[in-house]
Amino acid sequence: MWYDDVAKEFVVQGWKAEPELKAECLSTGPIPDNEAVVRLPARMIDILKEACSVAAEDGASVR
């Protein structure tokens, strides 16, 4: 995972979610064709936190 400071976006790679998880995610609305449901391992938490900090310092809105 990394933060693309030019596009102001997070870029992540993970495992494709199984059909059951994807169906659960669909309960909140459709998943656009250009998006996917992925699983990220817990070991990435520190990387996610760091990327969020970098993005916040760069002025990105991070929730």
For the chain, list residues with pLDDT below 50. Answer: none
Residue-level pLDDT at 61: 60
**Which pTM was predicted?**
0.53
Residue-level pLDDT at 20: 92
Contacts 24+ apart (CB under 8 A), 50-53: 51/1, 51/2, 51/3, 51/10
Pairing of strands 2-4, 15-16: unpaired
Residue-level pLDDT at 60: 64
Task: Report yes or no: 25 and 17 within 8 Å, Cβ to Cβ.
Answer: yes
